[in-house]
């Protein structure tokens, strides 16, 4: 069931367009990630859904209710939108206990005291916070504060849960745990959730659907597998993962394949861009670092490259390779002993795009 | 396509009716006195007179009166002279206390601020009884050295005293700029090879220059609006500034000549209003400057060395002696003696007669009670009002926000004396206000306007400390904008409100000019009583009232510190 419709939302700040016609829908029991670099408009989009920013153009429907319609002049205030928002800073009210923070939404909805007590206790218990109910926010750790913020946003059963960089204030270990339990919790509750993040790992791990934003518009949307494995633009390909980027000329092949020619190298690849080549003399190839195979012995498809250096990363080694002015990064399990390494760049992993 | 602005209302423009209502009410309150003054200045008689006509006679009189030009020139000299005295001294004090390892700088800071908390009429009276022609210090000096080579009843004397009393204002702005200065900027210069004094000159001084310029502009404005010091110290030799000229106009004519007072006020506003605007621009500039740096732990204090310590402490000691000890000590002593002079042993003269007289005269004892009421209860009402205005302007980026900005500026261009006078007129002739004139409510309203810019600044900075997400999360959770103020903003700023109340209390305690015209039998206040007692020369009673005023201020200040008020922002 579609819980959220965002239709052609535009937001201006003075003469500057921050959102240019973003559209997407989100379903119950699914998690959508708004992924993008800083300045891509992802937080603005989230705040528009929440009603904290007012877009000039567009339509937003939450749970079947139109909360924003630029043409009809409808713009419901945030409190009338039936949403929950987990702020990046958690924004727990420092003058209230954990219990009071969580209970506030129910009090505003005039629920009977007994019901408030059971519902707050139930959700605190579910997130392992029951013993902290009487504490004040400043007496909690960062991870506990985050869980209180999530309880507060969920307890009154909003139609849509919004999460603004929910993991960015946690340390690395906690973050990996949180990825897992937040996803599990949302799927269990069967709620529609929208998460903003700049961290692709986070988006891929938590979301069912990822929207990649750039300059206020959505450049690609799809499942995590599609976003990482089938990018349709150079920006999307380069934004995700760790990459080698090569510039060169495009040479179509008679068998339908394509080759990029750069610095006396020609690499066969696949044309992945949604559009045909605009300028055949200037295209880009994106090769994910982990797809390059490196061996000390030549193979049928390998090319010899000079080894510039090896960097130990703990769980693996990174190789810095070079041929002419072309530099490549690759990975392997052990340090390279010789000055020359033999690399295989597979055509299926060599994605070609317009720049 | 560029969309129209009409639907581009953002969250900031919530509660538009409340905001517009409060801000319009405030605008009427501040614009009424200013407009009334201008209107009165172009009439030939009091504006309520039946046969009143438009006339420029008042301006003609003023522009042909040599006294006016003398007063204008004196005021200009006074204002600039005050800047020349106060800015370097205040800057130096700020540097010594915030940037060096000066001994005892922790407890020096509150003492340095003392002159700021006393009304200038009390200060001026304190100087009269200590270093005036027959003051305690003068007499003691004469008996030791045969003569006292100074006179405070001259223009240089008045300027010096005015300047010294405004050192704390400069100190506050410059010290806070120096504290905000990120230490890495100075450390960068140190590592580049600059010595510690060189760094102060090449990095610190330019970085705090905006604060220095701002405090100079502020003092210039205060100088043009000054009243108490020239009134007390200038009177014996007939030295007039613009405000005292306005005050004395009645005695020149022998009857109230409102149009002449109004015309002089118009000239005064022509000077002060541009100054207010310049200040506003300077402040924005200074903030932008300050926003550059982050916060850095200051580890490197300049070492003064033993000679430096001695010189610095000597300098500060001298300043404290002249600025705090002389006036305050003079009043304390004078309040408890009736006779003194050369060869009189003061220890034999100690008496409580002055206080007894004060408590026996009904108007004076009432004045003390009224002052406490106005400061305590009135201060609380004022804070509630400023909070309403503050909320109306809180995260308000709409048009009403701009109106609020300008509304706050207007009273700054009007000296308290004039605000009091125009409110006196309003309460005399606006039908529904007439019954309130003889009550403390009329004074309170005028006080609220006089204290507006200071009070609102405290409230606004307190409100800004509430992180926007805390309000936004309440809205998301389902609270209306009013609920979010009631449940989140106000509980969070409550400690700040208590501090603001104490600070407003001090402002109201020391106020003297506003009540000069406005107070009536039954609504006397200490400061204004002192102004009227000056004419009759009842020095014993003025001394006792000054002492009581200082004591009340001390109580207020203790309370403020207890409540955690920040003496500076």
Rounded-to-integer distance, Cα B245 and Cα B71, Å: 7
ipTM: 0.82
Q: How confident is the model at residue B4 (pLDDT cuts 50, 70, 90)?
A: very low
The pLDDT of residue B85: 95
Contact B7 A83 (CB under 8 A): no
Residues of B in contact with A78 (CB under 8 A): 11, 472, 475-476
- CA distance, residue B473 to nearest chain A CA (Å): 7
Inter-chain contacts counted by CB atoms under 8 A, chains A and B: 91
Residues of A in contact with B493 (CB under 8 A): none
- Give the chain B residue nearest A156 (alpha carbons): B477
Residue B229 lies in a domain: yes
- Give the chain A residue nearest B11 (alpha carbons): A52
pLDDT, one tens digit per residue, over B557-569 is 888 888 877 765 4
The pLDDT of residue B448: 95
Q: Structure tokens of A333?
A: 């399990």
Same domain (yes/no): B172, B270: yes
Residues of B in contact with A137 (CB under 8 A): none
Contact A84 B14 (CB under 8 A): no
- A95 lies within 8 A of chain B by CB: yes
Residue B127 lies in a domain: yes
Q: Using alpha carbons only, what angle is made at residue B235 by residues B522 and B521, rounded to the nearest 5 degrees?
A: 5
Rounded-to-integer distance, Cα A194 and Cα B112, Å: 56
Lowest mean pLDDT segment, chosen from A19-33, B197-211, B407-421: B197-211
- CA distance, residue A43 to nearest chain B CA (Å): 13
**Option in B467, B470, B476 nearest A78 (CB):** B476
Contact B3 A105 (CB under 8 A): no
Neighbour tally for B131: CB within 10 Å = 22
Same domain (yes/no): B325, B473: no
Residue B72 lies in a domain: no
Rounded-to-integer distance, Cα B446 and Cα B424, Å: 9
Q: How confident is the model at residue A172 (pLDDT cuts 50, 70, 90)?
A: confident
Same domain (yes/no): B253, B175: yes
Same domain (yes/no): B379, B441: yes
The pLDDT of residue B461: 87
Rounded-to-integer distance, Cα B413 and Cα B10, Å: 33
- A156 lies within 8 A of chain B by CB: yes
Residue B223 lies in a domain: yes
Number of domains in chain B: 2
Q: What are phi and psi of A16, to 5 degrees?
A: -100, 130
The pLDDT of residue B291: 40
The pLDDT of residue A33: 96
The pLDDT of residue B292: 42
Residues of B in contact with A94 (CB under 8 A): 470, 492
Q: Structure tokens of A186?
A: 């949302």
Residue B138 lies in a domain: yes
Q: Greater confidence, B118 or B287?
A: B118
Same domain (yes/no): B263, B389: no
Q: Using alpha carbons only, what angle is made at residue A258 by residues A256 and A261, rounded to the nearest 5 degrees?
A: 155
- B12 lies within 8 A of chain A by CB: no
B6 pLDDT higher than 50 = no
Rounded-to-integer distance, Cα B302 and Cα B289, Å: 23
Which of 319-348 (A) contact B at CB < 8 A? none
Contact B476 A53 (CB under 8 A): no
- B11 lies within 8 A of chain A by CB: yes
The pLDDT of residue B171: 93
Same domain (yes/no): B130, B92: yes
B287 pLDDT higher than 70 = no
Same domain (yes/no): B234, B85: yes
Contact A77 B487 (CB under 8 A): no
Q: In sequence order, what DSSP letters do the residues of A122-171 get, joined into one string?
A: HHHHHTT-GGGTTS-GGGS-HHHHHHHHHHHHHTT--SEEEEESTTTTS-
Contact A12 B491 (CB under 8 A): no
Q: What are phi and psi of A219, to 5 degrees?
A: -90, -30
Q: Which residues pair with B556 in a beta bridge?
A: none
Residues of B in contact with A73 (CB under 8 A): 7
Sign of the alpha-carbon torsion through B69, B71, B72, B73: positive
Sign of the alpha-carbon torsion through B267, B271, B274, B275: negative
- CA distance, residue A95 to nearest chain B CA (Å): 7
Indicate the average pLDDT of chain A.
92
Residues of B in contact with A91 (CB under 8 A): 467, 469-470, 472-473
Q: Which residues pair with B43 in a beta bridge?
A: B54
Q: Structure tokens of B237?
A: 């030799």
Interface test with chain A among B2, B477, B492, B497, by most A beta carbons within 10 Å: B477
**Which H or E run contains A352?**
strand A351-353
Same domain (yes/no): B253, B385: no
Domain holding B89, by residue range, is 77-337
**Option in B473, B481, B487 nearest A87 (CB):** B473
CB A284 within 8 A of CB A351: no
pLDDT, one tens digit per residue, over B288-333 is 555 444 444 455 677 778 888 999 999 999 999 999 999 999 999 9
Pairing of strands A31-36, A209-214: parallel
Same domain (yes/no): B224, B372: no
Rounded-to-integer distance, Cα A215 and Cα A20, Å: 8
- CA distance, residue A92 to nearest chain B CA (Å): 7
In 3-state terms chain A splits into helix, strand, coil percentages (rounded to 5) of 30, 35, 35
Residue B38 lies in a domain: yes
Q: In 3-state terms, what secondary structure has residue B203?
A: helix
Rounded-to-integer distance, Cα A322 and Cα A265, Å: 12
Cα→Cα distances B512→B160, B379, B518, B532, Å: 21, 15, 11, 10
Pairing of strands A31-36, A192-197: parallel
Contact B473 A93 (CB under 8 A): yes
- CA distance, residue A148 to nearest chain B CA (Å): 13
How large is the average pLDDT for residues A4-17? 90
Rounded-to-integer distance, Cα B79 and Cα B223, Å: 4
Residues of A in contact with B7 (CB under 8 A): 54, 56, 70, 73, 75
Q: Structure tokens of A208?
A: 């069912």
Which CATH number do you get for residue B235?
1.10.3720.10
**Option in A15, A70, A85 nearest B473 (CB):** A85
Neighbour tally for B534: CB within 10 Å = 19
Domains of chain A: 2-230 (3.40.50.300), 235-353 (2.40.50.140)
- Burial class of residue B342 (count of CB atoms within 10 Å of its CB; 0-12, 13-18, 19+): exposed
**Which H or E run contains B230?**
helix B228-234
Same domain (yes/no): B524, B382: yes
Q: Domain boundary at B337, B359, B394, which? A: B337
- B467 lies within 8 A of chain A by CB: yes
Which of 472-531 (B) contact A at CB < 8 A? 472-481, 483, 487-488, 491-492
What is the reported pTM? 0.86
Rounded-to-integer distance, Cα A40 and Cα A44, Å: 9
pLDDT, one tens digit per residue, over B228-245 is 999 999 988 889 999 999
Q: Which residues pair with A6 in a beta bridge?
A: A24, A60
Indicate the average pLDDT of chain B.
87
Lowest mean pLDDT segment, chosen from B12-26, B230-244, B543-557: B12-26
Strand arrangement, sheet containing A74-75: A16-27, A2-13, A57-62, A65-69, A74-75
- B466 lies within 8 A of chain A by CB: no
- Give the chain B residue nearest A102 (alpha carbons): B477
Helix axes A113-126, A142-154, angle to 10 degrees: 140
Q: How confident is the model at residue A128 (pLDDT cuts 50, 70, 90)?
A: very high
Helix axes B416-429, B16-41, angle to 10 degrees: 90
Contact A56 B8 (CB under 8 A): yes
- B345 lies within 8 A of chain A by CB: no
Same domain (yes/no): B464, B568: yes
Q: Structure tokens of B419?
A: 């605000």
The pLDDT of residue B455: 92
Lowest mean pLDDT segment, chosen from A307-316, B123-132, B188-197, B296-305: B296-305
Q: Domain boundary at B289, B313, B337, which? A: B337
* Cα–Cα nearest to A116, from A126, A127, A105: A105
How large is the average pLDDT for residues A80-103? 93
- Give the chain B residue nearest A50 (alpha carbons): B476
Pairing of strands A243-252, A283-288: antiparallel
- Burial class of residue B318 (count of CB atoms within 10 Å of its CB; 0-12, 13-18, 19+): exposed
Residues of B in contact with A50 (CB under 8 A): 472, 476
Q: How confident is the model at residue B280 (pLDDT cuts 50, 70, 90)?
A: confident
Residue B164 lies in a domain: yes
- A46 lies within 8 A of chain B by CB: no
Q: Domain boundary at B306, B337, B368, which? A: B337
Interface test with chain B among A57, A93, A168, by most B beta carbons within 10 Å: A93
The pLDDT of residue B3: 40
Q: What are phi and psi of B539, to 5 degrees?
A: -65, -35
Q: Which residues pair with A304 in a beta bridge?
A: A342
Q: What are phi and psi of B228, to 5 degrees?
A: -60, -50
How large is the average pLDDT for residues A284-305? 90
Residues of A in contact with B11 (CB under 8 A): 51-54, 77-78
Contact B469 A87 (CB under 8 A): yes
Rounded-to-integer distance, Cα B382 and Cα B456, Å: 10
**Which H or E run contains A250?**
strand A243-252
Same domain (yes/no): B95, B153: yes
Q: Which residues pair with A24 in a beta bridge?
A: A6
Residue B2 lies in a domain: no
**Option in B3, B9, B476 nearest A84 (CB):** B476
Residues of A in contact with B472 (CB under 8 A): 50, 52, 78, 85, 87, 91
**Option in A57, A77, A156 nearest B475 (CB):** A77
- B291 lies within 8 A of chain A by CB: no
A229 pLDDT higher than 50 = yes
């Amino acid at each position: 069931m579609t819980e959220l419709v965002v239709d052609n939302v535009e937001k201006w700040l003075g003469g500057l367009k921050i959102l240019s016609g973003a559209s997407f829908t989100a379903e119950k029991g699914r998690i959508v990630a708004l992924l993008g670099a800083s300045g891509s408009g992802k937080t603005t989009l989230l705040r528009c859904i929440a009603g904290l920013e007012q877009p000039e153009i567009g339509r937003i429907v939450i749970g079947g209710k139109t909360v924003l319609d630029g043409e009809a002049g409808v713009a419901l205030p945030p409190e009338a939108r039936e949403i929950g928002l987990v702020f990046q800073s958690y924004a727990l009210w420092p003058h209230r206990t954990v219990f009071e923070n969580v209970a506030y939404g129910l009090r505003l909805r005039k629920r009977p005291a007994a019901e408030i007590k059971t519902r707050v206790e139930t959700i605190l218990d579910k997130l392992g916070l029951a013993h902290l109910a009487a504490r004040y926010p400043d007496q909690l750790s960062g991870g506990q504060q985050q869980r209180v913020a999530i309880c507060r946003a969920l307890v009154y059963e909003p139609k849509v849960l919004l999460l603004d960089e929910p993991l960015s204030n946690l340390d690395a270990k906690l973050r990996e745990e949180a990825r897992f339990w937040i996803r599990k919790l949302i799927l269990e509750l069967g709620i529609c959730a929208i998460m903003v993040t700049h961290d692709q790992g986070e988006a891929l791990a938590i979301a069912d659907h990822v929207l990649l934003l750039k300059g206020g518009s959505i450049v690609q949307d799809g499942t995590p597998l599609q976003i990482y494995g089938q990018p349709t633009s150079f920006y999307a390909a380069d934004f995700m993962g760790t990459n080698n980027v090569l510039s060169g000329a495009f040479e179509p092949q008679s068998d339908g394949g394509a080759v990029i020619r750069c610095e006396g190298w020609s690499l066969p690849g696949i044309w992945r861009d949604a559009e045909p080549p605009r300028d055949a003399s200037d295209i880009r190839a994106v090769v994910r670092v982990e797809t390059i195979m490196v061996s000390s012995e030549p193979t049928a498809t390998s090319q010899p490259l000079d080894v510039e250096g090896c960097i130990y990363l703990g769980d693996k080694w990174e190789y810095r390779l070079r041929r002419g002015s072309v530099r490549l990064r690759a990975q392997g399990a052990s340090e390279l002993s010789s000055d020359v390494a033999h690399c295989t760049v597979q055509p299926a992993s060599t994605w070609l795009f317009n720049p | 396509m560029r969309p129209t602005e009409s639907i581009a209302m953002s969250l900031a423009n919530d509660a538009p009716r409340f905001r517009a209502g409060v801000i319009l009410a405030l605008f009427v309150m501040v614009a009424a006195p200013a407009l009334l003054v201008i209107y009165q200045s172009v009439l030939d008689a009091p504006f309520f007179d039946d046969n009143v006509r438009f006339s420029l006679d008042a301006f003609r009189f003023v522009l042909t009166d040599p006294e006016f030009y003398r007063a204008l020139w004196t005021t200009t000299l006074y204002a600039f002279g005050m800047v020349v005295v106060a800015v370097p001294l205040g800057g130096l004090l700020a540097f010594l206390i915030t940037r060096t390892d000066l001994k005892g700088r922790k407890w020096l800071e509150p003492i340095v601020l003392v002159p700021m908390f006393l009304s200038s009429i009390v200060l001026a009276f304190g100087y009269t009884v200590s270093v005036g022609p027959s003051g305690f210090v003068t007499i003691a000096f004469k008996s030791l050295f045969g003569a006292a080579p100074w006179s405070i009843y001259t223009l240089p004397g008045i300027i010096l005293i005015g300047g010294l009393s405004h050192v704390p204002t400069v100190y506050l702005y410059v010290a806070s700029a120096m504290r905000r200065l990120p230490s890495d900027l100075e450390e960068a210069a140190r590592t580049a090879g600059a010595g510690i004094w060189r760094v102060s000159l090449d990095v610190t001084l330019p970085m705090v220059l905006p604060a220095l310029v701002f405090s100079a502009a502020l003092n210039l404005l205060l100088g043009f609006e000054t009243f108490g010091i020239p009134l007390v110290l200038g009177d014996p030799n007939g030295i007039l500034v613009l405000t005292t000229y306005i005050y004395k106009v009645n005695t020149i004519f022998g009857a109230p000549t409102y149009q002449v007072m109004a015309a002089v006020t118009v000239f005064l506003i022509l000077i002060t209003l541009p100054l207010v605007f310049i200040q506003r621009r300077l402040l924005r500039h200074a903030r932008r400057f300050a926003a550059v740096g982050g916060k850095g732990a200051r580890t490197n204090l300049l070492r003064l060395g033993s000679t430096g310590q001695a010189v610095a402490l000597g300098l500060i000691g001298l300043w404290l002696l002249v600025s705090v000890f002389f006036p305050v000590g003079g009043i304390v002593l004078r309040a408890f003696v009736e006779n003194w002079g050369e060869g009189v042993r003061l220890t034999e003269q100690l008496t409580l007669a002055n206080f007894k007289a004060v408590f026996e005269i009904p108007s004076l004892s009432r004045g003390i009670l009224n002052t406490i009421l106005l400061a305590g209860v009135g201060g609380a009402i004022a804070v509630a009002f400023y909070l309403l205005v503050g909320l109306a302007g809180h995260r308000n980026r709409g048009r009403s926000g701009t109106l609020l900005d300008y509304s706050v500026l207007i009273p700054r261009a009007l000296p308290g004396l004039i605000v009091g006078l125009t409110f006196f007129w309003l309460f005399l002739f606006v039908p529904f206000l007439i019954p309130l004139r003889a009550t403390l409510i009329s004074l309170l309203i005028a006080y609220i306007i006089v204290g507006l810019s200071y009070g609102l600044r405290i409230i606004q900075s307190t409100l800004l400390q509430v992180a926007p997400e805390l309000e936004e999360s309440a809205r998301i959770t389902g609270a209306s904008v009013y609920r979010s103020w009631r449940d989140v903003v106000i509980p969070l700023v409550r400690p700040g409100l208590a501090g603001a109340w104490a600070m407003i209390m001090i402002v109201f305690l020391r106020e003297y000019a506003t009540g000069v015209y406005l107070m009536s039998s039954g609504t006397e206040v200490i400061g204004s009583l002192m102004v009227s007692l000056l004419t009759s020369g009842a020095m014993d009673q003025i001394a006792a009232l000054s002492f009581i005023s200082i004591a009340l201020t001390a109580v207020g200040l203790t309370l403020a510190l207890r409540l955690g008020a920040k003496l500076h922002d």
